[in-house]
Amino acid sequence: MAIRKPHVGGNWKMNLHGNEAAALAQAVVDAVGGSDAVDVTICPAFPYLSQVAQIAAGSHVKVGAQDAYHEANGAFTGEVSLSMLQDIGVEVLLTGHSERRHVIGETDVLVNAKTRAALDAGLDVILCVGEKEEQRDAGQTDAVNAAQTYYGLAGVSADQMARVTIAYEPVWAIGTGKTATPADAQNAHAAIRKVLSEMYDNNIAQATRLQYGGSVKPANAAELFGQTDIDGGLIGGAALKADDFLAIVDAAVGTPAGA
């Protein structure tokens, strides 16, 4: 079985101002910027992307944007294009985050447009999927994840899949302190990997990194990342403190999934 390099993302959401964002970025780059054992992506808010990208430049740490618009240019007031982000050193785009789906109202169609545009532009993508609590209670977890994976990746080529990471983030676990049990998370990840094998083939399914997200912290990271199909995490609250985030990165390095 392929051994996938772990990938840990820090999604800072709408948090941290100027100096805080720069200081956190510097601490992450200082600690893991030279490591080839793990891929680390940090995603600050738009105003700090440029500064954080300068801090990360030349290191292994990649900088991601939390959103972008899929059109190249034009009359789209308030939106930011992919090439603008690339201009300032952004290499990764988050798409389909549950807060964009369920708070901002992004549809599967828009998530797909952004995913394809980012890949076509040469960016990496972290595509987020995950069920709401009532969907989980109704036994729909795998169906929701499958649908969001199929829609999100529609039109994405096999070659482009090398630049895709999928983050399984159960909505009820985000920012709540509730975490999926390692066994439940593993089952959801295995089901997503099966969808990838149906959409593409088994090699691509085995090579694609699947992150777990939702109240990951230093205390639970190692057990989650130790599951066969969990290849790292997408971290929110615990990514805002260097010590916590770096402990989580350490946990991912210590437990290569698929090994």
The catalytic residues are: 97, 169
* Nearest to 49, CA basis, from 5, 91, 100: 91
Site size toward ligand 13P (CB under 6 A) is 14
- If residue 168 lies in a helix (H) or strand (E), which one and from where to where? strand 164-168
Candidate list 214, 227, 231, 248; residue touching ligand 13P; CB under 6 A? 214
Per-residue binding string, ligand 13P, 81-120, x by CB under 6 A, is ----------------x-----------------------
- For residue 169, the tally of other CB atoms under 10 A from its CB is 27
Cβ-contact 73, 103 below 8 angstroms: no
- List the interface residues with ligand 13P, window 144-183 (CB under 6 A): 169, 174-175
**Min. distance of Cβ 187 from ligand 13P in angstroms?**
19
Quote the CA–CA distance of 254 and 245 in Å, as a whole number. Answer: 14
**Min. distance of Cβ 158 from ligand 13P in angstroms?**
26
Cβ-contact 93, 127 below 8 angstroms: no
Per-residue binding string, ligand 13P, 2-41, x by CB under 6 A, is ---------x------------------------------
Q: What are phi and psi of 145, to 5 degrees?
A: -60, -40
Quote the CA–CA distance of 190 and 17 in Å, as a whole number. Answer: 38
Under the rule (CB under 6 A), what is the footprint of ligand 13P? 11, 97, 169, 174-175, 213-216, 234-238
